[in-house]
Structure 1
Amino acid sequence: MKKAEVGRFNISPDEDSSSYSSNSDFNYSYPTKQAALKSHYADVDPENQNFLLESNLGKKKYETDFHPGTTSFGMSVFNLSNAIVGSGILGLSYAMANTGIALFIILLTFVSIFSLYSVHLLLKTANEGGSLLYEQLGQKAFGLVGKLAASGSITMQNIGGYLGYTSGLSLLCMVFFLIVVICKKFEIACPFEDPSIISEAVNSTFIPSTVLPHIAFNMTDDSCRPRYFTFNSQTVYAVPILTFSFVCHPAILPIYEELKDRSRRRMMNVSKISFFAMFLMYLLAALFGYLTFYEHVESELLHTYSNVLGTDILLLIVRLAVLVAVTLTVPVVIFPIRGSITHLFCPTKDFSWWRHTLITVSILAFTNLLVIFVPTIRDIFGFIGASAAAMLIFILPSAFYIKLVKKESMKSVQKIGALLFLFSGIVVMIGSMALIVLDWVHNAH
C-alpha cells in the first residue's frame, strides 16, 4: 500500500489529526487537507468529504477549512432557543381555545417533531452541498428559483411580526411573560367580564375603566370548563400559529458554523434540547393563558388581560419589557432580511452605504404599514405561518435534501421520508391558505 493511501485510510473523521503530524511515514499533503476539513464536517463520510473539499477549493481558507467554531454547546442551545421563541407565543392560548387542550398538545408535538426533522434534513444538505447559507443551498439546488424561494421566505418570515430574539434580555422577557401568565391564572377567577360586554357597558354608561374588574356578568358555568377537542371556524389558524412559532431555520446554519467542535450529531443535540425547552415553554404559556380566559381568549393574549383587568401595573411592566426587547432586536431582525435582499439582487457588488440605508428604511416603512393596516395579529400569524413558515419548515429543507444529497437513491428510506415530508408541507400550505382566505371572505360579509 502506498504511503498516501495509508494516510487516507487511517485518519477517520472522528480522530484528532494532530496525532499524525509527527509521523514521518505518512504523506503530509493529503491527510492535512482531510484533517483541516475535519473541523467543519466532522461526521461526514470520506466520499462526502472529497466532494466538499473539491467544492470548497475556490473559497477562502477561513470560510471553510480554517474557520473552527468558538461557541460552546450550552451557548449554542441558548442562541437557538432565542431564535425559536418569538411573538408567536402571544397567539398560542388562542390556538388552544380553538382546538381544545388535547388536540393542541397533539398538534404542538407533531409540529415540533417535524421542525426538528427539517433541521436534520437541512444540516445533512448543508454537509452535502458544501454551503452554510440558506440562499446558496437554494441556488445550488434549483438555481435562481431556489434562491428566490429561500430569500423570499426568509424576508416574509422576518417582516411578519417574527421576533426571533437573539439577546439574553429578550429571552428573559419571554420567561417573565410566562411567569406572569401562570401567576395571573390564580388571580383571575372565572366567571369574569366578557370583553364585548365590557366594551358595550363602557360606551353606554361611561363606566371608568378602573372599576371594570369589579363588574360581574352572568355567565354559564359551561363557559368556565376546559375543552379537550374543539372545532370551529378559527381552528384553521392553529397549525399556522404553531408553525410560525417554531421557525428558526435561517438561524440554524449560522449557529452550526459557530459551534465549537462542530458535527452534525452535536448540532442535532443542540436542536433537540432547544426544541424541547421551547415545547415546554409554549405548552405552559398556552395552557395557563387558556385556563385563565377559556373560550374568551383573544388572538393576542396581552390584549385579553388588558380588557379584563384594565390598568394593571404588572401587565404594563410586561408590555414594557416586550417593547424594550423588540426595540433592541430591531437590528438583529432586519439583518437577515437585508442580507437576503442584498444577496438576491446585488450578490457581486461592493458594499454601499446608500444601498444599505435604502434597504433598511424600506423594510422599516413596509413593516410599519403592515402593522397599521392589518386588522389583527391573528391574520399575520395565519398568513405568514401558512406561507413563509411552511416553506422554511416543510418544503425547502426537504426539496433541497432531495435535490442535493446524491449518495442516496430515490428509493431509499431517507429520500422517501423527505418526499412524504415535502408532500405534507404542500398540503399544509395550500390547505391552510385556502381555509384562511375563506374565513377572511366570510368575515368580510
Structure 2
Amino acid sequence: MNHSSETTLNTVKVPKDLYPVFLTAQNYVKNYFSAIEQDPEKGSIKISGERYILVRAASMSKEFFDMMALMYKDRGEKEARILSLNFLFDIAHSIGKADAKSFFSKMQVTDPIEKLSAGPVQFAYTGWASVTIHPLSNPVSNENFYLIYDHPYSFEAQAWMENGGKTDFPVCVMNSGYSSGWCEESFGVSLVTAEVECRAKGDQHCRFIMAHPSRIKDYISDYSKKAYIKYEHYDKINIPEFFKRKRLQDELQNHKIHLEELVQERTDKLEKSNKSLEEANIALKVILRQMEQKGKTDKENFLINIKQSIIPYLKQLGETDISNGQQVLLDRLEMNINQITSPLISKLSSKYLNLTPMEIKVATLVKDGVVNKEIAQILNVSLNTITSHRYKIRTKLDLKNKNINLRSYLLSLEE
C-alpha cells in the first residue's frame, strides 16, 4: 500500500477539537482506498485486499421505494413506505456495525472518538455522502450521546431529486442506519438516527440527529424550537429503530416467560395454601375429637362423682329413723338421681334432641315400669296428657305404627 499523508482535512467537517483525530483517520482511509484492484473477468473489486461491490444509488433509494409501493399497493402507500424505511434502515445499520468492527481491527484503535473518526471519512470514499459534524454534538459512551450532523451530498437525496422530484418525507434512511450502526459499534451504546431535514423535501439540509432511543425525541423537540421549520413537522418525524420486529418479539417472549413464572409462582402459593388448609383441617378434626373425648370423659366423671359422693349418703339417710312420707321422698330422690346418671337420659338428650324435657320425664317413668295413671299423678297432669306424650315419643323414636313395646325399646337404649 502506498502510504501518503495530508495536513488538510477535506473529506469531513468537524469541530476544531476533533480535527487532529479525524485527520489521522482521513490519511488512513485514503491509503486504504488507494489500493484498488479490479478484475472484471472474475467479477471482483478489491480494496486493500477486501472485496467490495458497486451498487447504483437509485436502486437503493428512489427505485427501491417505487418497487415496494408496487409490491404493497393493496396495503396503501403509507405502509409500503414504512416497510421500505424499516428494511433499508436495518440493513444499513447492520452493515455500518460490521464495517466499523472491521476498520477498528485494521486501524488498531480502542478510543471511541478514534473509532468514530473513520466512519465519516469512509462515507466520503464510498460515495454515501460527505459529513459535517456540528459543534453542539456530544459523542460520549452513555445515554447522553448526542450527534447532530449534515450530509450535504447524500446519495439518497440526490437520487430522489434527479428521478422523482420533491417528496413529503425524509429519504436518507440508509445514511441514518449506516451512521448509527457505526457509532453504536464505536461507543458501545444503543443509538438511533432520525433525519430531521431533507433536501429531497425542499429543506436546506439533509440534517440528522443521533441519540440513544430513550433520548432522541427530547433532542428533536429541543432542536425544533430553534429551527426555521414549523414544530409540527418535527413532531411527525419517523424515528426508525434497528430490528424493531426482533425487539418486539423479544419483548413478547420475555413477557411470556414472565407470565409463565407468575403463573408458576401463584400455583406454588396455591398448592402451599391448600396444603396448609389440609393440615389445618386435620388439626381441627384432632382438636374436635379431643374435645368430644374430653366432654365424654368429663360427663362420665360427673356421673361417677354423683354416684360415689351422693348415693352413699342417701343410703345412709334411708337407714336413719325417718317418717314414711320422708322415705317416699327419699326413694323418689334416689330414683331421680339414678335417672340422671342413666345412659337413657344421655341418649335421649343427645341422639334425639327434639324430645322435650317433659317427654324425657315421661319416657324415663315408662322405662321404670310406671303405668300411665301413676305417671299422671307423679307429674301432676291429666291422663290424656300422658297418652299424648307417649304418642309423640313413639313418633320421634320412629316407633309409630310399629309393633314394638315402648318400655322394651327404652330399656334397650340403656344397654
Q: TM-score, normalised by structure 1?
A: 0.19
Give the structure with the larger helix fraction. Answer: 1
Q: Which has the higher contact order (CA 8 A, sep 6+)?
A: 1
Higher strand share: 2
TM-score, normalised to structure 2's length?
A: 0.20
Structure with the greater alpha carbon radius of gyration: 2
